[in-house]
Amino acid sequence: MAHIPDGLLSAPVLVAGGLLAAGGVALGLRRLDDRMIPRTAILAAAFFAGSLVAVPVGPSSVHLLLAGLMGVMLGTAAFLAVLVALLLQALLFGFGGLTTLGVNTVNIALPGVLCGLALGPLIRATARPSVRLAAGALAGGLSVLGTGGLVALSLWLSSSDYTPAARVVIATYLPLALVEAFVTAAIVSFLARVQPEALRPVAP
Amino acid sequence: MTVATPQGPACDLRLRLVAAFIFIACVSQLRTLPVALAALTVAGLVAAWRRPDARLWRRLMHVEGFLLLLFATLPFTMAGQPLFSLGPLTASVEGMERALLIAAKVSASVLALTALLGAVEPVRLGAALRGLYVPEVLVRLFVLTARYLSLIRDEARRLQEAMRMRGFRPGTNRHSWRSYGHLLGMLLVRALERAQRVEEAMRCRGYEGRFPRLAPPSPTARDWAGFCAALVFGLAVTMADRL
């Protein structure tokens, strides 16, 4: 539920989101080596497929965002992967939106890229599994909280009438952040054991 | 002479993409309920005219979580003329109107998007995006991601089935989450192996960062007519809304 549909946000928020997303995408494009395109695309498809897996939480289930892990494994190319995934989702499945593409890209990719930049080096360098688990959990949890905050901010900036709903939105991201922290920690420690080079970012 | 079907290659996708964007951008900024309902009607007629399959209507039923939240909170949190009260809460006319306005705009956008672009193959969409000067690297990523998504989804499904066969019952506990972590980790490892093979195969065939691309044919009068209709409609609803 991180993708905001068309018809909800105000024009200034949409334009600002579009500009920010364009900046992030331009950065990702500049950092991405041409030969890495197939790898980035296949990883983007894997992250997309992974986010379609429903993880049960209590009576309901959640879909993971995996943005923190994208930040670690793709680096700045996470902007590209998220944009492409959102475009596919909007055009092929009809979820999300066309005008909100920029806002949604920033909301999901920016916290992930920041978490990747901040925690990625530690995850790759540490020799202690417990530190790696903690850093992975932080990357997963913080990126989800960042996305929740940005979604609420986009709603709140669009109209003050959305404020009560925006508050509840933040609350709904808390269980997701918890699950995502556990799952991301498990993925990171799995990859470190099975294929450590997978944790090197595709684009720095 | 061939008959041009709505989904056939005779339609210029570049114009259709731009038209969809303009239509949705105009609709998403509407402020008055009657105009939004009119836009919804037009979008519904366009969608029905394109003879959609059942998927389209099912998609309309899918509402994002926070839209439900907005519908639930807006009538009670917006001040205004009271409509009815539910215990200590009072719903206002303004709040109800706002909730309806949002529902109309979101539905109209979804209808327009799926009716105009729902049945297009990603490869053609990629060519259209390239024709609209979207950076080539981004287009290549888009086409490749679309191509591998269904493959990797199948792989995820097989891995999940294997987990169930081994007696995995998902629940709200750390064991389940770690198992999902291993599932996703395995998915990523396999994706990387696949990427390795694809890269090698592509390099063997002389891939050097570019795909050959045919110049798309120029749009026909019919394409321009459709584009202008979307443009005029967008301007008309915006004018009607603001006046």
The DSSP secondary-structure symbol of A199 reads: G
pLDDT at B52: 64
d(CA A33, CA A62): 34
Residues of A117-153 as b/e, b for ≥16 C-beta within 10 angstroms? eebbeebbeeeeeeebbbbbbbbbbbbbbbbbbbbbb
- Measured between CB atoms, does A162 come within 8 Å of chain B? yes
Shortest Cα distance, chain B CAs vs residue A27, angstroms: 12
At residue B223 the predicted structure's pLDDT band, cuts being 50, 70 and 90, is: confident
Looking at the complex, report in whole angstroms how far the Cα of residue B23 sits from the nearest Cα belonging to chain A.
10
Mean pLDDT score, A5-19: 93
Res. B217 pLDDT band, cuts 50 70 90:
confident
- pLDDT for B118 equals 76
pLDDT confidence of residue A99 = 93
- Percent helix / strand / coil, chain B, rounded to 5: 70, 5, 25
Using a CB-CB cut-off of 8 Å, the residues of chain B touching A155 are 66
The token pair at B179 is 């198992």
pLDDT tens figures, A23-66: 999 999 999 988 888 899 999 999 999 998 888 888 888 889 99
The whole-angstrom distance between B177's CA and the closest CA on chain A is 5
ipTM: 0.92
Q: Is the pLDDT of residue A160 over 70?
A: yes
In this predicted structure, which of A156-170, B76-90, B181-195 has the lowest mean pLDDT?
A: B76-90
Q: What is the mean pLDDT of residues B98-126?
A: 86
Q: What is the pLDDT of residue B158?
A: 94
Nearest CA in chain B to A32: B137
- Asked which of A63-72, A133-142, B116-125 is least confident by mean pLDDT, the reply is B116-125
| A171: closest chain B residue by CA | B66
User: What's the N-to-C CA distance of chain B in angstroms?
Assistant: 46
Q: Chain B within 8 Å of A58 (Cβ-Cβ)?
A: yes
The C-alpha angle A193, A198, A202, rounded to 5 degrees, equals 160
How much is the pLDDT for B4?
Answer: 40
Which segment, A3-7, A115-119, B11-15, B114-118, is predicted with the most confidence on average?
A: A115-119
Q: Kindly determine whether residue A43 and residue B191, on different chains, have CB atoms separated by under 8 Å.
A: yes
Candidates A7, A45, A56; nearest CB to B105: A7
Q: Are A183 and B149 in contact (CB < 8 Å)?
A: no
Q: According to the model, what pLDDT value does residue B9 have?
A: 46
The minimum CA-CA distance between A80 and chain B, rounded to whole Å, is: 7
Testing the interface with B: which of A1, A3, A6 to mutate, by most B Cβ within 10 A?
A6
B1 min Cα distance to partner chain A (Å): 31
Are the beta carbons of B127 and B62 closer than 8 angstroms? no
Phi and psi at A54, nearest 5°, equal -85, 125
The pLDDT score that the predictor gives to residue B163 is: 94
Residues near B23 by Cβ (< 8 Å), separated by ≥ 6? Answer: B43, B112, B116, B230, B233, B234
Expressed in angstroms, the distance from the first to the final Cα of chain A is 28
Chain B environment of A49 (Cβ under 8 Å): 149, 152-153, 155-156, 187
**pLDDT tens per residue, range B134-167:** 998 999 999 999 999 999 999 999 999 999 999 9
- Tell me what the mean pLDDT of segment B88-112 comes to: 86
- The DSSP string of B50-93 is T---HHHHHHHH---HHHHHHHHHHHHHS-SSEEEEETTEEEEH
What pLDDT shows up at residue B51?
66
Q: Determine the residue of chain B that is closest to A53 in CA distance.
A: B156
pLDDT of residue B5: 42
Q: How confident is the model at residue B64 (pLDDT cuts 50, 70, 90)?
A: low
Closest to B16 in 3D by CA, of B217, B215, B225: B225
* Cβ–Cβ under 8 Å, residues A71 and A120: yes
Between A and B, how many residue pairs show a Cβ–Cβ distance under 8 A?
A: 240
By CA distance, what is B144's nearest residue in A? A41
d(CA B226, CA B40): 18
Would you say A143 and A160 are in contact if contact means Cβ atoms under 8 Å apart? no
Between the CA of residue A83 and those of A66, A96, A101, A126, B152, what are the distances in Å? 14, 12, 7, 31, 19
pTM of the model: 0.90
Higher-confidence residue of B4 and A4: namely A4
Q: What is the per-residue pLDDT for B213?
A: 66
**Tokens 């939106």 label which residue?**
A97
- The pLDDT of residue B210 is 67
Considering only A139-153, A172-186, B209-223, which range has the smallest mean pLDDT?
B209-223
Strand partners, B98: none
Average pLDDT over residues A147-167: 90
Q: Write the DSSP assignment of A139-174 as a string of letters.
A: HHHHHHHHHHHHHHHHHHHH-GGGHHHHHHHHHHHH
Q: Which run of H or E residues covers position B8?
A: none
